[in-house]
């Protein structure tokens, strides 16, 4: 459907990508990944024909219908939602216009030959329009809009009555309704809640055409993608598989380069040691010269940059009391619409709570009430001892001073902290070098979000409320935020549609359901297991009792008197030791063979094979460690009872 060859694009001296090529066929779902500013949206614009590449070309299959969902600037008239989505596509409008023109020509008395041609064309147009009318457009549009979270009452609302996030959903619905051959989707999950996200994933999995999509939602990419197109710092990589498989492959290549670089460095040091030792001896001149020539031929390995786990040095917040906030018999309505009645809730120190619930359930309402930024009708809200609150929402980005630099914004709330501490925190949020002196006005949405998050975490609140903190953040930035919140020593309550974020941060789930708050202790995996058991009616899986006949292991076993064992059992122990030694020899040999492959990635047929071999190497390594532990234990037991 789409073929792009050797695309290159830059602005001024900055090259976003060069020699980028891709093919998209029916059934392909290509995830476009890369850091903010790497050129993902620019590439989308080029493929959609809205921007011209500096070099290269894009070829579309004949009659291929392309639909492009951008992050903003959605084109709508102010009509009711259902009417906007069902609006006839341009080709149908053109056919109707052509049909009117044919009618006019026929009425003007065309000759017989012209009449025959016009009538044949009119028949084709009528057949096409009839097929279009039989598609049951209204039913299909309602099904798509319902999947995206709209209710029946929304269908008759004017577009301008919806907020920005809902307008984006409406435009996505319109794009899907017209069933294009090629979908170009730039951050389609930004404004979708979990339920809409799951519906959208299922839609794409059944979509017959080709998809090119950008998203910062790791779980979404893992579910949907059949291949990854990664715009990396020094190259563009195309690889089959989902996002996690791409990461495994990238990590394996990185480790391979590290190992190769280490061996190269060792070789250089060995040669240089000889050179330095015998440089002044005439009898060794020829050998020294030979070593120097050999050094010139050694190819240096450039190791790609890898983002490391950052340990943050945020100011430690005051220790709060055990109960940090309590709601009692709380009631909240919007006019005649009752949202909450008689709600009771307590959060305790150290809770990291994910607020879940379908769209419109009242998640943002209860979060704002907890944060103290929204009034309630009756009941009580009480903060615990020594509790200070912080609140993050998208409006904080607008409160950043556009004339200030990034470091000035953070120093404003640093409370006398040194510039070095602030620089360290900014480095953790991907601002380094001269970047910290950029003014807020020139930053992208994702960069502003990182500044606002760093600023909030610097303010020493011990109770944080966060409404969609991952919006506008790329995957790398999200991982950095996860690191920061896992290091955070206070209490946290947040809303997000990013399941990876929930998995890695939450230690408690709060479900908003029919005006009630239901607490599920444990992380997101425990919550999902709980839901699964509830729906299936199965009891919780009980742990299998340990096998009493199995020989005990561990340090407590080392001093046992092996005289209780018969000579026959001692023979079996020695036989097992020899078997382990043989297995270890085979495993180490196999690992060595794999490592020889890894030192030269060209030997691998494709990245998918490289990833599989990497997993195999990890499994062998784990097996080797387990066997070595068993060997040590058995050898210690035998040795103890021989002496």
Burial class (CB in 10 A: 0-12, 13-18, 19+), 527: buried
Question: Which domain CATH number covers 369?
Answer: 3.40.50.300
The arithmetic mean of pLDDT across residues 90-96, rounded, is: 73
Same domain, 344 and 476: yes
Query: Confidence band (pLDDT; 50, 70, 90) for 270?
Result: low
Same domain, 458 and 566: no
Same domain, 289 and 350: no
Phi, psi of 151, rounded to the nearest 5 degrees: -100, 165
Q: Which two tokens mark 494?
A: 């947040």
Domain total of the chain: 3
Same domain, 498 and 631: no
Same domain, 278 and 390: no
pLDDT at position 530 over 90: no
The arithmetic mean of pLDDT across residues 91-118, rounded, is: 77
Same domain, 265 and 405: no
In a domain? residue 630: yes
Query: Confidence band (pLDDT; 50, 70, 90) for 425?
Result: confident
Q: Which two tokens mark 477?
A: 């930035």
Which pLDDT belongs to residue 381?
A: 95
Same domain, 371 and 501: yes
End-of-domain residue from the set 482, 505, 536: 536
In a domain? residue 414: yes
In a domain? residue 358: yes
End-of-domain residue from the set 297, 332, 361: 297
Same domain, 385 and 509: yes
pLDDT at position 233 over 50: yes
DSSP 555: G
Which pLDDT belongs to residue 276?
A: 59
pLDDT at position 560 over 80: no
Range of the domain at 380: 323-536
* Angstrom distance (rounded) from CA 532 to CA 514: 20
DSSP 403-452: TSBHHHHHHTTSTT--HHHHHHHHHHTT--GGGGGSBGGG--HHHHHHHH
Which pLDDT belongs to residue 311?
A: 59
* Angstrom distance (rounded) from CA 461 to CA 184: 41
pLDDT at position 348 over 90: yes
Yes or no: say if 390 and 383 are a contact pair by the CB < 8 Å rule: no
Q: Which two tokens mark 385?
A: 């001892």
Query: Confidence band (pLDDT; 50, 70, 90) for 68?
Result: very high
Which pLDDT belongs to residue 553?
A: 43
Same domain, 447 and 343: yes
End-of-domain residue from the set 536, 565, 593: 536
The arithmetic mean of pLDDT across residues 201-223, rounded, is: 92
In a domain? residue 308: no
In a domain? residue 129: no
pLDDT at position 537 over 60: no
pTM: 0.60
Span 132-182, pLDDT tens digits: 554 567 788 888 999 998 988 898 899 888 887 888 899 999 899 888 999
Same domain, 448 and 362: yes
Same domain, 452 and 561: no
Span 297-318, pLDDT tens digits: 555 555 443 345 555 556 778 8
Chain centroid offset of residue 487 CA: 20
Same domain, 259 and 340: no
pLDDT at position 385 over 90: yes
Give the mean pLDDT of the chain: 79
In a domain? residue 427: yes
The arithmetic mean of pLDDT across residues 187-202, rounded, is: 88
In a domain? residue 192: no
Lowest mean pLDDT among 253-267, 270-284, 462-476, 479-493: 270-284
Query: Confidence band (pLDDT; 50, 70, 90) for 565?
Result: very low
The share of the chain scoring above pLDDT 90, in percent, equals: 27
The arithmetic mean of pLDDT across residues 585-592, rounded, is: 71
Phi, psi of 232, rounded to the nearest 5 degrees: -95, 175
Which pLDDT belongs to residue 643?
A: 43
Span 413-423, pLDDT tens digits: 876 666 777 88
* Angstrom distance (rounded) from CA 501 to CA 506: 8
In a domain? residue 590: yes
């Amino acid at each position: 459907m789409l073929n792009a060859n050797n695309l290159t694009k830059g602005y001024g001296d900055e090259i976003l990508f060069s020699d980028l090529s891709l093919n998209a066929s029916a059934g392909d779902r290509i995830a476009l990944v890369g850091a903010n500013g790497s050129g993902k949206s620019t590439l989308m614009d080029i493929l959609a024909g809205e921007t011209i590449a500096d070099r290269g070309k894009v070829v579309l299959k004949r009659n291929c219908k392309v639909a492009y969902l951008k992050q903003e600037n959605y084109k709508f008239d102010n009509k009711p939602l259902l009417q906007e989505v069902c609006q006839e596509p341009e080709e149908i409008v053109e056919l109707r216009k052509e049909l009117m023109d044919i009618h006019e020509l026929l009425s003007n008395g065309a000759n017989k030959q012209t009449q025959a041609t016009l009538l044949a064309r009119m028949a084709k147009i009528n057949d096409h329009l009839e097929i279009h009318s039989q598609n049951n457009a209204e039913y299909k549009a309602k099904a798509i809009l319902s999947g995206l979270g709209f209710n029946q009452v929304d269908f008759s609302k004017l577009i301008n009555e919806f907020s920005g996030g809902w307008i984006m959903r409406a435009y996505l619905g319109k794009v899907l309704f017209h069933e294009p051959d090629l979908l170009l989707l730039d951050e389609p999950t930004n404004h979708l809640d979990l339920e809409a996200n799951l519906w959208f994933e299922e839609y794409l999995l059944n979509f017959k055409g080709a998809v090119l999509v950008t998203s910062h939602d790791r779980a979404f990419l893992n579910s949907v993608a059949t291949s990854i197109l990664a715009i990396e710092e020094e190259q563009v990589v195309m690889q089959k598989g989902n996002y996690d498989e791409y990461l495994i492959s990238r990590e394996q290549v990185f480790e391979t380069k590290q190992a190769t670089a280490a061996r190269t460095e060792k070789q250089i040091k060995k040669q240089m040691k000889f050179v330095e030792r015998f440089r002044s001896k005439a009898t060794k001149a020829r050998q020294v010269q030979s070593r120097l020539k050999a050094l010139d031929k050694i190819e240096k390995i450039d190791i790609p940059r890898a983002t490391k786990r950052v340990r943050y040095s945020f100011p430690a917040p005051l220790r709060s009391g055990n109960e940090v906030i309590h709601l009692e018999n709380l009631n909240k309505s919007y006019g005649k619409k009752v949202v909450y009645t008689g709600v009771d809730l307590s959060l305790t120190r150290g809770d990291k709570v994910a607020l879940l619930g379908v769209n419109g359930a009242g998640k943002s309402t209860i979060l704002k009430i907890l944060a103290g930024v929204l009034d309630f009708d009756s009941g009580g809200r009480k903060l615990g001892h020594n509790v200070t609150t912080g609140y993050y929402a998208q409006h904080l980005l607008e409160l950043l001073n556009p004339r200030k630099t990034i470091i000035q914004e953070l120093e404003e709330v640093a409370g006398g902290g040194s510039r070095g501490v602030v620089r360290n925190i900014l480095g953790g949020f991907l601002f380094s070098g001269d970047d910290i002196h950029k003014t807020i006005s020139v930053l992208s949405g994702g960069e502003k979000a990182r500044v606002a998050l760093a600023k909030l975490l610097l303010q020493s609140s011990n109770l944080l409320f966060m409404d969609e903190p991952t919006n506008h953040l790329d995957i790398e930035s999200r991982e950095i935020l996860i690191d920061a919140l896992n290091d955070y020593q206070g209490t946290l309550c947040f809303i997000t549609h990013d399941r990876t974020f929930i998995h890695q941060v939450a230690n408690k789930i709060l479900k908003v359901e029919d005006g009630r708050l239901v607490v599920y202790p444990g992380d997101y995996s425990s919550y999902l297991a709980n839901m699964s058991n509830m729906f299936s009616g199965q009891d919780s899986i009980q742990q299998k009792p340990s096998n009493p006949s199995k020989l005990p292991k561990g340090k407590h076993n080392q001093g046992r008197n092996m005289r209780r064992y018969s000579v026959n059992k001692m023979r079996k122990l020695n036989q097992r030791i020899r078997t382990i030694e043989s297995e270890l020899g085979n495993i180490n040999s196999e690992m060595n063979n794999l490592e020889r492959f890894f030192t030269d990635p060209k030997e691998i047929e494709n990245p998918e094979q490289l990833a599989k071999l990497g997993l195999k190497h990890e499994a062998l390594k784990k097996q080797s460690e387990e066997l070595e532990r068993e060997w040590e234990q058995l050898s210690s037991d035998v040795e103890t009872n021989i002496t």
